[in-house]
Amino acid sequence: MNKKLATLMYAVAGLSMTAALEHVAAADVGAFTMNEILSPSERDLAPVTGNPPRLRRTDEEQPGAEMAHLAFFKGNKSGLYFEMRSGEINGQLPNDRVQLALVPFSLTQDAASGAVTAVASMTGARFVTDNRGNEYRNANHPIAISINDGANICAEYNYQPNNTNNTKRYIQCFDQAGATVLPQTQIFAKNNDDCSMNQDANSTTLLSSIAGKNRLVAWSGCNGNGQDDGWLRTYQLNTDTSGAISFKAEFDVSLAQREERSRGFCSIAASDPNTAICSWTEGNNQPQRDGTWLAAVDVSPGTTGSDRQNTILWKKQIDGRQGDGDTRTYSQRAMHQRILTQDATGNLVPSDLIIWRSGQARGNNNNNNGKGGTYYGNQMAVMKVGKDGMSYVIPLTNTVDKLIGLDGTHLGMGPALFGTTDKLTPGVMFLAGSQTGGGYSAKLRAVGFDTTAGTISDLGSYSIAPYDRHLYPNYLGNNPGNQGRNFSGTVMIPNPFVGLNGNKDAFLMVATTTGKSPATMARPELKLSSYISILPIAQTPAASPTPDPSPTPDPTGSGSGSNTTGGSGSNSTDPGASTELGGCSTGGSTTGFGALLLGLAFVTRRRRS
């Protein structure tokens, strides 16, 4: 069915896809903005077959652009965007087929509408690796993180040198001018173990940053032919007086002894930066069958060495196998994010509450040249976690009927705050992409949590730029038809333009995706485009109107202007207003032919990639 749908999309997309997406963007000004950071290359074309043409599976061909991530410098007005790229930058193709691309960007505001948009600076765009890897593993699975109070941005990535059999983790760091202040440096490896993988989000969390001394913690799933474990690791990035940065390893500890696709993640609370909470999926099968897990690890300064099991404070299985026979499912793709709060100065800080998500899936890998299985459950919870243990604030709940259409295939997850700044609702946003290349809006799904009432709320689905979670990375990557590898990124930031030109958006969700542009859907040989999307998700509260001490009666009784009691217009007493993202009713949705294809995409059989 996926093949037929992809062919249909390529054959007719040029008729109305562009119009559909443009309608979404224009339907509600400020609902979201997007910018195509990098376009597909005419010199790096994908193999196609048939008439009309469709994408042809080709080993190690590369999808053009994938695994997009970014981080911001201090002030949130500029940052660096990274991706694995086989297309050209400023007329230059990468050496050895694919390398890590860096693109500086800045946020700008439209003076008329107040909307915020990300704009690339191609003057400083370049490839920052020149590796020659086995199977072109030159810069896999990059992530980006800000250090030194936003003065520097670092990128981690994987690289397996040619004629070797072990993937290792590397890092580079850059200053605000884009100059390299830490050249490519190996930061993690295990013997013959292919390190590393992590949750479909950022792998690395900043523990502390004081006077140029930065401590970080990360999850590294190492799935090769060696020990095959999932590890927590800590390390330092230290800055000297010249601005140069150096790396220093601290310690690691094995948390998952049965590693296949653990996709773990570790986080900390502002109140206790010496305790890391890690989530992962355990099992040596594809998909894994040994459940989803949570652990606490003492990451206090001073610990060094390998596999420090004495640092594990507690370890607990959260969910596992359910049902029997044909109805049996396994808990997979454990994910978590911290609930964010504001400190006394208004800064966002991670609390001791986490939002948990895992899926109940059934199916086998390598079945009929397909990958993964089908998701039948979407478990969510809110937990209070710390060095002494965990407890449920909202118990594990299957939200499959509440969050209809949300599946777990390469699902992105980022922390979020909704509503208005005087009554913020904590939650998350899930980023769901296309199984068939993109070409239409991807979706951010907003989920809110009322920890007092103990409820989980669906706050709606919102459009952003296209995201191909499967087709091009799968068909043009390693083991085509079986192994896909694309990921997205989400970062929530305080809006640096709030209060300017009428803008009342307090917080922005910034998403990075790669996918087929609507303009190129009729040309499957053109690979993926690169996007930064911005969606307002919370606002400053509207000022209470000052009553007119001597209003003039309206003899007609009709009136006009804002509506404070219901109906159309601005409704300041609407009890649901605090859960609207950016003060918009829905943020737009795909209409017409685009909606038809989106619906078809949702009813196709879900596959993990």
Which tops the pLDDT comparison, 544 or 10? 544
The mean pLDDT value of the chain amounts to: 84
Q: The tokens 């765009």 sit on which residue?
A: 125
Note the pLDDT of residue 372: 60
d(CA 373, CA 242): 52
Strand partners, 367: 370
User: What tokens does 355 get?
Assistant: 């939002």
DSSP string, 476-497: TSSSTTT------EEEEEE-TT
Query: CATH fold of 2-542+578-603, please?
Result: Neuraminidase (2.120.10)
3-state SS assignment for residue 10: helix
pLDDT in tens, 5-55: 333 333 333 333 233 223 223 223 347 999 999 999 999 999 999 999 999
Note the pLDDT of residue 585: 31
Q: Comparing 357-366, 445-454, 525-534, which segment has the lowest mean pLDDT?
A: 357-366
Nearest to 184 by CA among 146, 147, 135, 142: 142
Buried b (16+ CB within 10 A) or exposed e, 359-393: bbbbbebeeeebbbbbbbbbbbbbbbbbeeebeeb
Which tops the pLDDT comparison, 200 or 563? 200
pLDDT in tens, 383-406: 999 999 999 999 999 999 999 988
d(CA 55, CA 322): 38
Which tops the pLDDT comparison, 323 or 353? 353
d(CA 418, CA 457): 12
pLDDT in tens, 56-78: 999 999 999 999 999 999 999 99
pLDDT in tens, 195-242: 988 777 778 999 999 999 999 999 998 887 777 899 999 999 999 999
CA 377-333-326 angle, 5° bins: 45
Burial class (CB in 10 A: 0-12, 13-18, 19+), 574: middle
d(CA 45, CA 292): 40
Q: Is 317's pLDDT higher than 90?
A: yes
Task: Report the range out of 37-41, 363-367, 568-572 with the highest average pLDDT.
Answer: 37-41
413: enclosing H helix or E strand:
strand 412-420
Measured in residues, the chain has a length of: 609
- The ranges assigned to domains in the chain are 2-542+578-603
Q: What is the dihedral of CA 374, 376, 382, 386, to 10 degrees?
A: -50
The CA-based diameter of the chain, rounded to the nearest angstrom, is 87
DSSP string, 550-595: SPPP-TTS---S--SSSSSS--TT-TTGGGSGGG-SS-----HHHH
Residue 92: CA atoms inside 13 Å, Cβ hemisphere, count?
13
Tell me how far apart the terminal alpha carbons of the chain are, to the nearest angstrom. Answer: 16
Q: Is 374's pLDDT higher than 70?
A: yes
Work out the pLDDT band at 184, boundaries 50, 70, 90.
very high
Residue 200 has phi, psi (to 5 degrees) of: -70, 65
Tell me whether strands 423-432 and 412-420 are parallel, antiparallel or unpaired.
antiparallel
d(CA 236, CA 46): 41
Note the pLDDT of residue 3: 34
Strand partners, 442: 464
